[in-house]
């Protein structure tokens, strides 16, 4: 198609597809207060990339495998209760990032675009990348819709979810798998260091206006799409990095969302799905 002959249009199409997936998934990150976990998963992606080159694996396979190993390690270490969850996340987050950087630095025979991995290069996406974004994105959304009720129930109240046989531990692991898939999709678009920002900011903005979890998920996707479009056009106009520009656009939307409440005292009660 002619639309995919232009690099900017490819970037727009890929970014919109990514934003549609980050919206609903980001809602669970916000509800469960898992921002630091999102960072840990994102940082582990660099180790996945490095190990993919070491063992001659597909990059996506390596990233997903390492993200899942980190998730399992966190679940096992949490059960031992020797350290708090935030301490464990800090250790895993910085250790995987540092280990990935060390492995990349000693692989002199392999040229890796480290800045591209860390901050993304959405303007370099190909038609194959777009197909991957929409293909894997559709899988993530389908699984999320299928597990929506047990995921929300486990987020609101773990004991109630257990009483209703909704298996909250399984729901949590499903959420981790979906995050791993999303990170594999996102590396080329916004980069490892900015993935969590695009997950959290649109969802946090949507939470201020939505009255139900479903509305919040849809609104988060819409706001993510607006951030992608605004960020890319801002990047084109001001000649700024595309990935960070998208995150800045999302931040601007969030700051604008604060204005009505401050000026007019809006009393809309944001949707709250707390993990007790």
Query: pTM for the complete prediction?
Result: 0.86
Burial tier of 274 (Cβ tally within 10 Å: 0-12, 13-18, 19+): exposed
- Of the pLDDT bands very low, low, confident and very high (cuts 50, 70, 90), residue 200 is very high
Q: Is residue 4 very low, low, confident or very high in pLDDT (cuts 50, 70, 90)?
A: low
Residue 212 · residue 31 · CB < 8 Å: no
CB neighbours of 118 closer than 8 A, spacing ≥ 6?
A: 46, 191, 192, 193
The confidence score (pLDDT) of residue 155 equals: 86
122-179: per-residue pLDDT in tens?
888 989 889 989 999 999 999 999 999 999 988 888 887 787 788 888 888 888 889 8
Which pLDDT value is given to residue 187?
Answer: 81
The pair of three-digit structure tokens given for residue 75, joined into one six-digit string: 């679940």
Whether pLDDT at 55 is above 80:
yes
| Interatomic CA distance for residues 16 and 1, integer angstroms | 18
The pLDDT score that the predictor gives to residue 83 is 75
Q: Is the pLDDT of residue 121 over 90?
A: no
| Closest to 128 measured CA to CA, from 182, 176, 185 | 185
- Specify whether the CB–CB gap between 172 and 155 falls below 8 A: no
Answer CATH for 2-264 from 1.10.3470.10, 1.10.1060.10, 3.20.10.10, 3.40.50.300: 1.10.3470.10
Cα dist. 173→71, 93, 169, 242, 268 in Å?
8, 18, 6, 32, 33
On the question of pLDDT at 264 being above 80, the answer is: no
Residue 188: partners with Cβ closer than 8 Å, 6 or more residues away = 116, 120, 121, 122, 124, 125, 129
What values do phi and psi take at 182, rounded to 5?
A: -65, -40
Binned at pLDDT 50, 70 and 90, residue 267 comes out as low
Q: What is the pLDDT of residue 276?
A: 47
Q: Which long-range contacts (CB under 8 A, 24 or more apart) does 128-131 make?
A: 129/10, 129/14, 129/188, 130/4, 130/10, 130/13, 130/14, 130/17
Q: Does residue 272 have a pLDDT over 70?
A: no
pLDDT of residue 162: 82
């Amino acid at each position: 198609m002619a639309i995919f002959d232009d690099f900017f249009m490819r970037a727009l199409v890929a970014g919109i597809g990514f934003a549609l997936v980050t919206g609903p998934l980001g809602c669970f990150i916000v509800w469960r207060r898992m921002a630091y976990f999102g960072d840990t998963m994102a940082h582990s992606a660099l180790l996945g990339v490095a190990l993919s080159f070491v063992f001659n694996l597909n990059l996506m396979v390596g990233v997903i495998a390492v993200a899942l190993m980190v998730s399992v390690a966190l679940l096992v270490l949490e059960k031992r209760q020797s350290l708090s969850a935030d301490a464990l996340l800090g250790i895993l987050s910085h250790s995987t990032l540092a280990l990935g950087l060390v492995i990349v630095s000693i692989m002199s025979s392999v040229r890796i675009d480290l800045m591209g991995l860390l901050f993304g290069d959405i303007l370099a996406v190909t038609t194959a990348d777009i197909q991957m974004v929409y293909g894997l994105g559709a899988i993530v959304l389908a699984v999320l819709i299928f597990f929506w009720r047990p995921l929300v129930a486990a987020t609101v109240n773990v004991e109630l979810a257990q009483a209703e046989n909704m298996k909250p531990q399984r729901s949590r692991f499903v959420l981790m798998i979906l995050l791993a898939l999303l990170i594999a999709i996102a590396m080329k678009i916004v980069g490892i260091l900015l993935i969590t920002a695009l997950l959290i900011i649109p969802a946090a903005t949507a939470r201020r206006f939505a009255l139900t979890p479903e509305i919040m998920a849809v609104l988060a996707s819409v706001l993510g799409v607006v951030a992608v479009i605004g960020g890319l056009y801002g990047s084109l106009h001001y000649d700024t990095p595309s990935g960070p520009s998208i995150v800045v656009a999302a931040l601007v939307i969030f700051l604008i969302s604060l204005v009505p409440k401050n000026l007019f005292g809006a009393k809309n009660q944001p949707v709250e799905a707390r993990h007790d």
